[in-house]
Amino acid sequence: MDLKIAVLPGDGIGPEISAVGVEVLKAIAEKFNHKFEFDYAPVGAAAIDATGDPFPEATFQLCKSSDAVFFSAIGHPKYDNNPDSKVRPEQGLLAMRKKLGLFANIRPIEIFPSLVDKSPIKEDIVKGSDFICIRELTGGMYFGEKYQDDDRAYDTNAYTRPEIERIVRLAMDYARRRRKHLTVVDKANVLASSRLWRKVAKELEAEYPDVAVDYMFVDNASMKIITEPRFFDVIVTENTFGDILTDEASVISGSMGLLPSASTGELTPVFEPIHGSWPQAAGLNIANPMAQVLSGAMLLEHFGLASEAKNVRDAVNAAIENGIVTPELAAPGAVTYGTKEIGEWLVDYIRE
């Protein structure tokens, strides 16, 4: 298979983990006789510094003309710590989602058996957890009408029926391929937008009689993710709730550095780790590249390359089981490995 992949390393640790992810994909292409072309473009703070725009038109055109986007992370303290900044790195991420029509963010949450002790939650609660969070990505407060002055501010949480229908249908399809259980998370007892979400979801239930659907207020869902994570199979929710719940769910695995994600929609899909840019660690060779590598596995799977994706996941599992990990995952007193060295180990494993 021939694939054109736009690589957006971004800021902070982004270039380091991106390099590992690309080398792993190159090793897969070599082993399985594929041709992957990688083209690079700036985004986030790096793009602001270079062009004044966090998502330049040239970057958008590259993404649009590619088969997939392999994205890493954005964010820098010089913008985060300045509330008066008119241009921010995060605006680049929102612009990318909007321009590419990426209405669905898919985040798998699962436990690596050898790392279950790293979770802050008791083993008997998290062991065996395996669910997917599907977050609506281009609506809600993040994109609604906004206003701010010195005394008043608001963000409008607007949704339309078509926006809700397409994300709920996607979630139903995922549930149908898994354990046939979907949880719709909203705040229908308070918010009008949530009542529309619930109304539309209930109407769609008839089209998916093989999927068991339940409804949960977001506050209850946030507690249940921590106290009974094995309850969930597929969760679907709106943008703001999804942002919060997926970050909360990420702690189940014991490290954000292990969790990949995909964003899909109208144009080119984007594959990225869920963590941020961690600018304080930039250049120190201590960032965990596993989530970036596993995002590459999701990319491969998206194009039907199941064996290739499994090879990547097997390599990550083997690295973890053999203790080839960064400091936050290592056992007390154990030898730790740097970002680059982990990448080399994974490539060697794939080539064997």
Residue 102 to residue 264: CA distance in whole angstroms: 5
**Domain shared by 69 and 134, yes or no:** no
Residue 114 lies in a domain: no
Q: Which two tokens stand for residue 89?
A: 């790195």
Residue 335, Cβ neighbours under 10 Å: how many? 9
Residue 184 to residue 214: CA distance in whole angstroms: 6
Q: Which of 67, 155, 173, 247 is catalytic?
A: 247
**Domain shared by 288 and 232, yes or no:** no
Residue 173 lies in a domain: yes
Q: Which of 53, 99, 186, 187 is catalytic?
A: 187
Q: Which two tokens stand for residue 21?
A: 């992810």
8 by DSSP, 3-state: which? Answer: strand
Residue 271 lies in a domain: yes
**Domain shared by 3 and 97, yes or no:** yes
**Domain shared by 16 and 79, yes or no:** yes
Residue 71 to residue 74: CA distance in whole angstroms: 9
**Domain shared by 175 and 277, yes or no:** no
Residue 138 to residue 101: CA distance in whole angstroms: 7
Q: pLDDT tens digits for the chain (352 residues)?
A: 999 999 999 999 999 999 999 999 999 999 999 999 999 999 999 999 999 999 999 999 999 999 999 999 998 888 766 666 678 888 898 899 889 999 999 999 988 777 787 788 888 898 888 999 999 998 999 889 999 999 999 999 999 999 999 999 999 999 999 999 999 999 999 999 999 999 999 999 999 999 999 999 999 999 999 999 999 999 999 999 999 998 888 888 777 778 899 999 999 999 999 888 988 999 999 999 999 999 999 999 999 999 999 999 999 999 998 989 998 887 788 889 999 999 999 999 999 8
Q: Which two tokens stand for residue 142?
A: 């993040």
Catalytic-residue membership of 187:
yes
Q: Compute the C-alpha angle 178/165/224, nearest 5°.
A: 50
Which of 126, 111, 97 minimizes the C-alpha distance to 262?
97
- Alpha-carbon separation of residue 161 from 126, 217, 282 (angstroms): 35, 20, 43
Count the residues in the chain.
Answer: 352
Q: Which of 211, 226, 253 is the last residue of a domain?
A: 253
3-state SS string for 123-156: HHHHCCCEEEEEEECCCHHHCCCEEECCCCEEEC
Which of 297, 285, 271, 295 minimizes the C-alpha distance to 342?
285
Q: Compute the C-alpha angle 9/11/13, nearest 5°.
A: 80
Residue 325 to residue 289: CA distance in whole angstroms: 9
Residue 298 to residue 284: CA distance in whole angstroms: 27
Place of tokens 């040239």: 58
Which of 294, 284, 349 minimizes the C-alpha distance to 322?
349
DSSP 238: -
Residue 8 to residue 42: CA distance in whole angstroms: 6
Residue 259 to residue 282: CA distance in whole angstroms: 19
Q: Which of 253, 272, 287 is the last residue of a domain?
A: 253
Q: Which two tokens stand for residue 30?
A: 């070599």
Q: Which two tokens stand for residue 78?
A: 């010089």
Q: Which of 219, 310, 314, 348 is catalytic?
A: 219
**Domain shared by 267 and 352, yes or no:** yes
Which of 210, 217, 129, 126 minimizes the C-alpha distance to 175?
210
Residue 224 lies in a domain: yes
Residue 171: give the domain boundaries.
120-253
Q: Which of 80, 130, 173, 243 is catalytic?
A: 243
Q: Which of 53, 79, 118, 142 is catalytic?
A: 142
Q: Which of 227, 253, 279 is the last residue of a domain?
A: 253
pTM of the model: 0.85
CATH of the domain at 45: 3.40.718.10
Catalytic-residue membership of 186:
no
Query: How many separate domains does the chain show?
Result: 2
Contact 93, 31 (CB under 8 A): no
**Domain shared by 205 and 84, yes or no:** no
183 by DSSP, 3-state: which? Answer: strand
Residue 115 lies in a domain: no
Catalytic-residue membership of 117:
no
Residue 12 lies in a domain: yes
Catalytic-residue membership of 142:
yes
**Domain shared by 201 and 300, yes or no:** no
**Domain shared by 125 and 243, yes or no:** yes
Catalytic-residue membership of 243:
yes
**Domain shared by 225 and 319, yes or no:** no
**Domain shared by 207 and 239, yes or no:** yes
pLDDT of residue 116: 80
**Domain shared by 233 and 294, yes or no:** no
